[in-house]
Amino acid sequence: MPRIIPLGELTPADISLIRDTAREVLRQRAAEVLKILPEDIVVRDLVIGDEAAATDFVDLDVRTNETAGMQHWAEDAADLVAGDLSSILAAGETVPDNKFVGIFGFFDLTPNPDLVAIRLRRGSDTLDFWQTEQCYVYADMPGGLIRGVIIYDQSDPIDMQMEFKTATDKFVGLFSYIAERFGERISKAA
């Protein structure tokens, strides 16, 4: 498991390299599994939100929408237990067919952040665990990245868990991409 590095300890070049590497590793994985050329894969930002009421689309559904129809990162207070890891995705959520999710860090837009930890699970397997408090030392850049990418393949059960000190609405997101064939959301390469 790669360690989480506070954003404040990374240069802009480091951040760019981590993002580019995550994108390319995810593209290669999707092409390998789907048995197509990497240039036939598009990698875009993962959209998380309220699947039942979103005005456009979401890739992964949240347990409870913080705002009706949301298409953004937010954790509703109703889903959180203070001082304990809480799932933020709908129960039984899986990666859609022919899609691949890559996660490589987090950011926190909560006014008074108190995130303690993040656990990424595939079914009952823990893929990574980040103790995040160190990432708040640099108050102007709350968040962190890993040098690597946690990949979920198509149809994998996916569970993102977060632990906060208080159970109020939060605005923590994961630096993440989704890879898919050109044609479903993005029709062709630019």
DSSP assignment of 55-122: SS--SEEBSS-SSTT--S--B-GGG--TTSEEE-BPTT-BPPTTEEEEEEEEEE--SS--EEEEEEEE
pLDDT in tens, 38-95: 999 999 999 988 877 766 788 898 887 776 766 788 898 999 999 999 999 999 999 9
What is the residue type of 115? L
pLDDT digits (tens, 9 = 90+) for 110-145: 999 999 999 999 999 999 999 999 999 988 899 999
Quick one: pLDDT at residue 39?
A: 94
